[in-house]
Structure 1
Amino acid sequence: MERFGIQTLPAQFQLPYHVHRDGYVTVVLEGSYLESGDGGRCHVVPGAVLVHSEFDAHRNETAARPVRLLNLPLPSPVPGHAHYEIADPDLIARLSQADLRAASEQLFCLARPVLREIDDLPGVLAQHIRENPCFSLTRWARHYGISPSYAARQFRRAFGVTAAVYRKRARFHHARQMLERTEVPLADVAATAGYTDQPYFNRCFKAETGLSPMEWRRFRKLQYARISPP
């Protein structure tokens, strides 16, 4: 897809689970679709605003009508919620014709946060995985009186990836946030995020970002230093 601007998705279209290296914001202009990804599972309609952070992964399924979207750069600072809504999405589309970044800034002056997550079995399972990097599908399924294999099948059908892959991504996001927001030693970051040991953590993290955890922490510090006021 084009990085920013207006995009059209065909009716009855499925976009497989995919990763975006850079963050962006989506405003739904027309149509509706189902998005299932690292931030949960939600049904979005015109006026919905979705914040996709760096390295966000998701799949999309459109309904009977085509969908028109507006993709904008993330404003600074990054919004604190994943889902918002705006009463007049066409206003933001018009503003974007002149200045994409200004349109993004104005969007979050007008939008309000909302809860959109679907709370069916795959949605609830995804939430538990995100909240607990050491999550065990078998223990979770038995606690709720569900067959682990049934839960796994339902999850894969909804998200397009296995619960194990989703848990791996949840660990990565958890570790990345710790690296960026704390000075916790790398070994403790690895343990807290659910990695078996630091070398394994290093390999997994570099596979996602191209940088080791220490390199990523330094890179982020330099970035924040450039944008922070003196």
Structure 2
Amino acid sequence: MHAFPPPPALAPASRQCYAPSHSLDRHCHYTAYATVILGGSYLEAGDEGRHTVQAGDALVHRAFESHLDFFSARGADVLIIPMPFAARLPVRGRVRDVDALARMAERSPACAWTAFAEAFEADGSGHDDWPDLLARKLREQPDTHLGEWAEATGLRAESISRGFCRAYGISPKAYRAQVRARAAWEAICGSSLALGRLATELGFADQAHMTRAVKSLTGHRPQAWRMAADA
């Protein structure tokens, strides 16, 4: 069972080093955080697309996002900065002086989020191959018919499934289900719309379907998250 409700105070920033050519299978983080790359580089593929990042780049991860990582031959040195659940920044950005941010985080780890938010500069770049176009389509239009999308792009449906899984570590259908579940969780916490109405608007078969999806993702039913948001 995941921690509930979210802790009111942020954890301190921390530093993590990854070995050359190391990889991490697709995994879910239950808290929101930002990653600032201090050195090295890697490819991340997750719920918000694929990004190749290097020193000075930053990636923002909202709660309950999933991703996989492939580290380069140089490995990577990263600064992990916990962020508030409700914070909203673009997925990718830059920090001009990562060394100064790292020094500040070491002196005062609890203040790292504020310093990062002030230094963050949005950068909309990312991968744009067909798996990324499909991922974006599934995020923006979850009801997209995969067979029709394959036909429109001149690809075979089975090739799409294999290629997408290689890129994102998950099938297109499973990716869509996870993205939809996270969208439901965010809507439940951020709006007062009736749960049944939300389920319909987000494309679930019914409220029970949405409840199962949100509980599978977060460990808690929509009603519990709604009560926590209203508290």
Matched with 1:68 is 77
Instruction: Output the amino acid matched with 1:102.
Output: C
Amino acid in structure 1 at the alignment position of 2:136: Q
Q: Is structure 2 residue 123 aligned with structure 1 residue 100?
A: no
Q: 1:26 aligns with which of 32, 35, 39?
A: 35
1:203 aligns with 2:203: no
Query: CA 1:216–1:75 in structure 2 vs 1: closer, same or farther (change >3 Å)?
Result: closer
Q: What is the TM-score of this pair, normalised by structure 1?
A: 0.91
Structure 2: gaps of 5 or more residues: 1-10
Q: Distance in 2 between matches of 1:144 and 1:110?
A: 40
Size of the aligned set, in residue pairs, is 221
Quick check: 117-126 or 174-183, which moved more? Answer: 174-183
Deviation string 1:109-149 (CA, Å, 9 cap, x unpaired) is 12210013200011111100111122221121112221111
Shift of 1:3: 8.3
Question: CA 1:77–1:190 in 2, change beyond 3 Å: closer, same or farther?
Answer: closer
SS of 2:226's partner is helix
Runs (4+) of structure 1 exceeding 3 A deviation are: none
Residues 176 and 76 of structure 1: is their aligned pair in 2 closer, same or farther, counting only changes over 3 Å? closer
Q: CA deviation at 1:202?
A: 1.2
Partner of 1:227: none
CA distance, structure 1, for counterparts of residue 78 and residue 209 of structure 2: 39
What letter matches 1:62 in structure 2? F
Tell me the CA shift for residue 4 of structure 1: 4.1
- Distance in 2 separating the partners of 1:145 and 1:41: 22
Shift in CA distance, 79/182, structure 1 to aligned 2, threshold 3 Å? closer
What is the alpha-carbon root mean square deviation over aligned residues? 1.7
Once the two structures are superposed, the pairs formed by residues 1-230 of structure 1 within 5 Å of their partners are: 4-75=13-84, 78-222=87-231
CA distance in structure 2 between the partners assigned to 1:129 and 1:178 by the alignment: 17
Give how far 1:188 is off. 1.8
User: In the aligned structure 1, how far is the partner of 2:89 from the partner of 2:15?
Assistant: 24
Q: Distance in 2 between matches of 1:203 and 1:77?
A: 23
Q: Which amino acid aligns with 2:54?
A: V
Q: TM-score if structure 2 supplies the norm length?
A: 0.90
CA-to-aligned-CA distance 1:40-86 (integer Å, 9 cap, x gap): 11111111111111001100001111200000111586133111101
Gaps of 5+ in 1: 223-230
Instruction: Classify the secondary structure of the residue corresponding to 2:73.
Output: coil
1:178 Cα offset (Å): 1.7
Please say if residues 15 and 59 of structure 1, whose CA atoms lie closer than 8 Å, have aligned partners that are also in contact. Answer: yes
